[in-house]
A and B are shown apart, each in its own frame.
Chain A
Amino acid sequence: MANDKRVKQSGMNSISFAGNITLNITFSIYAIVCIFPLLLVLAVSLSDEADIVDYGYRIIPKSISLISYQFILSSGDKILSAYGYTIVSTIAGTILALLITSSLAYPLSRKSFKYRNKFAFYVYFTMLFNGGMVPLYIVYTQIIPLKNSIYALIIPNLVSGFYVLLMRTYFSQNISDSIVESAEIDGASTFRIFFTMVLPLAKPVLATVGLFTAMGYWNNYFRNLLFVYDDRVMNLQYLLFRMQSEIEVMNTDPQLIVELGKYIPQETSRMAMVILTIGPIIFLYPFLQRYFIKGLTIGSVKG
């Protein structure tokens, strides 16, 4: 394999110099298409509202102002509680999902387990057929009353059949039956084997599924939108969603409103809130993207 690479890079089979330049220019432009929108949002969030009213959204602000961030942060509890809901649901959701997913996937990967294929189909069928939004809504509001609680932000769609089958494939390829059997002969219980032997060996797949799940929770607003009617329970994304249409959700401090006069920083605050919502992700991006790319290539194994 290393040899193959050298041959490829040695130049005898490379594209022409001009071709290489063309490709680099094309992808550089597309990279800008991906990054520029965030820079625009950042620029507007740092602009003065009056400039936005006069000149519109600019990539380079006419003058720098932090008023939008002040406006959002002076509402203290709103943004803090939103961060709280997002962080708690992300951590709790990810840990729970990893536990349930891996413990369901492991038995399905053991050849000695006679019913593994029946249960694998039970999991697989949830990927083929989906009852849809209305029955799910009924389940979590009428049968299991999660409505308006933080549990509504965690429990629905916690386990994905796809990740169960992904982990099963990983377990069956990486944890040999002979290791498990010898541990069994030494008298270890299935639980002990699973928690002390299997999970430590499964770190790569746990990291992958954990990352995807955590990102799903961080970016989720749908649970909030569907199951929560109470304005005290709002995660970051949902708060951003609400303030897109009603800036009043953000700050109701009458004194501040009077102070700001006609320049309540509507537009700039919207953009500042976008920045505050993605802030931690961008901060971790160099680290996250590496694992994300690795995870995608693990994830592309056949279900």
Chain B
Amino acid sequence: MRQRNGFAHELNKNKGNFLLMLPGVLYLFVNNYVPMFGMSIAFKKITYGNSFVETYIKSPWVGLKNFEFFLSTRDAFLITRNTVLYNIAFIAIGLVLSVACAVAINEITNKRMAKFYQAAMILPNFLSWIVISGIAYAFLNARGFINSSIVGLFDMEAVSFYSEPFWWPYILIFIQVWYNLGVNTVIYLASITGISGEYYESAVIDGAGKWQQITKITLPLLKPTIITLTIISLGGIFHANFGLFFNVPRESGVLFGVTNVIDTFVFRALRTGGRTEMAAAAGFYQSIVGFCIVVLANSIVKKISRENSLF
């Protein structure tokens, strides 16, 4: 009873605050929380009625049938493997390269050139995945730049990339790393420039060389940023970059073995296959496992260093 009075009192006292928040709270409810409950259709067999409510009520519960169906396809394992392995490759390669680039750019003596390199490196981040897919096509198609200008130089045969799965893991990893390298470099560079110069001064006085300064000062002080960013990426390990995997391979069926990921699978099942229940089951699986991974990743960080955890 006191609790209720407390809330009513607060509501009255902070009327303005509550009213200000109202649109945002309602929006997140519709856009984010309703879909969370909506995930329950993964346990139903959809039978359409005239309205959504009617459809939902008419659709019978079928337990785990949709999941059994999803898991019995060869795709379930394949898309999980592709999603997780690609993400691990993106995170590991991206981390090493962006920290290296940040440390290196920080050492460049001409600051105007350093600014220019950063500006060039973040350019890919301004492009949509459709544009990137168009660019990739310009390089990879039968008459594309690689086949018309590069292959000849090395006396090799033309490659029909869009029907040759072998190259795709490299292509996809290259494009994703190329896309994000600039942004991550800028973020790491910002935390490097935040390191006080005094550390380096006293290191120089003690006779430390550049390499020692990097390994003994810069990298240890970057650790919190590295951990935080890596955990955020690891939390998303079950979610693939739809734009990359859907658009860049131009839906070439021959390549699905190395390009199909959970997100593209769900989209195809929903939009082109009309297999809504299976799409829902795969999406449910992705959301739940993805959520567990975020929580797990964070609890690991908490063990290592409490102040770096997200919650």
Contact = CB atoms under 8 A, between A and B. Distances in A.
Contact of A133 (B116, B186, B191, B283): B283
A57 B30 contact: no
A157 to B, nearest CB: 7
A142 B55 contact: yes
B144 A56 contact: yes
Contacts of B137: 244, 270
Interface string B241-254: 01100010011000
Nearest to B189: A297
Nearest to B114: A27
A64 interface: no
Contacts of A262: none
Interface residues of A, number: 111
B107 interface: yes
Given A20-B107, A222-B242, A133 B20 contact: no
A71 interface: no
A303 B250 contact: no
B99 interface: no
Interface stretch (A72-80, A99-107, A200-208, A247-255): A99-107
B117 A27 contact: yes
A91 interface: no
Given A34-B124, A190-B20, A297-B187, A139 B38 contact: yes
B190 interface: yes
Given A7-B197, A34-B178, A142 B138 contact: no
B108 A134 contact: no
B104 A296 contact: no
A181 to B, nearest CB: 14
B279 A57 contact: no
Determine chain A's interface SS by DSSP, over half rule. Answer: helix
Given A30-B121, A41-B138, A159-B27, A135 B41 contact: yes
B148 interface: yes
Interface in B118-132: 118-131
Interface residues of B, number: 109
B50 to A, nearest CB: 11
Contacts of B134: 41, 240, 244, 270-271, 273-274
B153 interface: no
Given A37-B138, A143-B34, A219 B128 contact: yes
Given A289-B119, A300-B225, A244 B27 contact: no
B290 interface: yes
Contact of A37 (B135, B183, B210, B250): B135
Contacts of B135: 37-38, 40-41, 274
Contacts of B25: 104, 119, 122
Interface of A: 1, 3-5, 7-9, 12-15, 19-20, 23-24, 26-28, 30-31, 33-35, 37-38, 40-41, 44, 52-53, 55-59, 99-101, 103-104, 106-108, 110, 112-115, 119, 122-124, 126, 128-139, 142-144, 156-159, 161, 164, 189-191, 194, 215, 218-222, 225-226, 237-238, 240-241, 244-245, 267, 270-271, 273-274, 277-278, 281, 285-286, 288-289, 292-293, 296-297, 300, 302-303
20 contacts: A7-B201, A9-B109, A30-B121, A57-B143, A59-B145, A104-B24, A128-B235, A133-B267, A134-B266, A135-B38, A138-B35, A138-B52, A194-B20, A237-B128, A244-B250, A274-B131, A285-B126, A300-B191, A300-B229, A302-B228
Interface of B: 10, 14-21, 23-25, 27-28, 30-39, 41-42, 51-52, 55, 101, 104-105, 107-110, 113, 116-131, 133-135, 137-139, 141, 143-145, 147-149, 178, 182-183, 186-187, 190-191, 196-198, 200-201, 204, 210, 213, 225, 228-229, 235, 239, 242-243, 247, 250-251, 263, 266-267, 270-271, 276, 279-280, 283-284, 286-287, 290-291, 294-295, 310-311
